[in-house]
Structures are given as C-alpha cells and as structure tokens.
C-alpha cells in the first residue's frame, strides 16, 4: 500500500516540468540526514487511483508532470499508479518517481515512467545538485535511460 502525506507544485524536481510532487510515507530507507524523516513513519492516507486522478485534475492545465516522491516500500504499486496516469491522461501528463533505492528494482516496467531518480541521500556525497552525489535522475526514452543529473548542478 502507498500512503501520501502532502503535495506541492514544484519546478526543480524534473527538468523543464511543472510537477505535482506527492510525498509518500512508509519509507524503508532511513537515510542518515534525510530532510523528510517524517516520511519514514506510517502516516497519511492511502493513495488510490481515484485520489491520484483527483489531485491531478485539481491542477488541470497547470502541471506537465506528476512525481511520486518515495514509495520504496511498494514499488510495484508506484508502477501501477503511474501506468494508470499514462493511460488516463494519454501521455499528456508525464510521470516521475523519486526512489531512495541504490538501483532500480529488477523487472521494473520503464514504460510507466518518464523520469526516475535513484540513490539514497548520503550527506557526505550531497544531493542531486552536488558534483559528488551518488544520486541519479534519468529520463526514460524508448526504454533507454538518459542521465539528466548534470542538469541539477549549479552554474557559476
């Protein structure tokens, strides 16, 4: 089961997208220094397809992407929900997933995603904008992964 706690419209999680970012709880990763440690608990409400579609519809015409932030406790459900978004919105809304896993799960269906971020937060390596980060953000193009991590680096 996937539970969500809150959501927001964000501009920096997925390059060139205006995204509805939905924060998911029950995170099993327990990354030291996590900026959202409250998401490790069993908090929030179940994120059903109906609730997800309702959230997206609330921002109709304002967003280009929906991103599930977390969900490592049930990645298959993340996949199902984002596949449903692709079907319901006929590709008009892109889909993204922020995972704290070191690698993508074996057997993941890449066709459900436009973006996937992997990598636990490691304070010593920094977030996506750090040149030493272990995290990676990929754009999915025809089952190929294009590394977009460089897009987060601060420019002088």
Tens digit of each residue's pLDDT (9 = 90 or more) over 10-67: 999 999 999 999 999 998 888 777 778 788 889 999 999 999 999 999 999 999 999 9
How far apart are the C-alpha atoms of 37 and 115, rounded to whole Å?
23
Tell me how far apart the terminal alpha carbons of the chain are, to the nearest angstrom. Answer: 43
74's CB contacts (< 8 A; 6+ apart) are: 1, 2, 26
| Beta strand extents in the chain (DSSP E only) | 3-10, 19-24, 45-46, 65-69, 94-98, 115-118, 136-141, 144-147
Angle between helices 49-58 and 75-88 (to 10 degrees): 50
Looking at residue 38, its pLDDT comes to 86
Task: Determine whether 10 is exposed, middle or buried from the number of CB atoms within 10 Å of its CB (0-12, 13-18, 19+).
Answer: middle
Tens of pLDDT, residues 55-110: 999 999 999 999 999 999 999 999 999 999 999 999 899 999 999 999 999 999 99
Model pTM score? 0.94
Domain parsing of the chain, residue ranges: 3-152
Residue 132 tokens read as 């030493």
């Amino acid at each position: 089961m996937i539970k969500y706690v809150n959501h927001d419209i964000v501009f920096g999680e997925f390059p060139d997208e205006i995204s509805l970012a939905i924060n998911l709880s029950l995170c099993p990763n327990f990354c030291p220094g996590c900026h959202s440690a409250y998401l490790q608990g069993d908090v929030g409400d179940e994120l059903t397809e109906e609730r997800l579609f309702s959230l997206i519809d609330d921002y109709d015409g304002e967003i280009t992407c929906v991103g599930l932030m977390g969900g490592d406790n049930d990645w298959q459900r993340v996949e199902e929900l984002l596949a449903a978004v692709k079907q319901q919105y006929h590709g008009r809304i892109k889909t993204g997933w922020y995972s704290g896993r070191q690698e993508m799960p074996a057997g993941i269906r890449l066709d459900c995603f436009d973006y996937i971020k992997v990598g636990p937060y490691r304070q010593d390596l920094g977030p996506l904008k750090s040149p030493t980060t272990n995290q990676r953000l990929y754009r999915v193009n025809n089952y190929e992964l294009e590394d977009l991590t460089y897009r987060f680096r601060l420019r002088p």
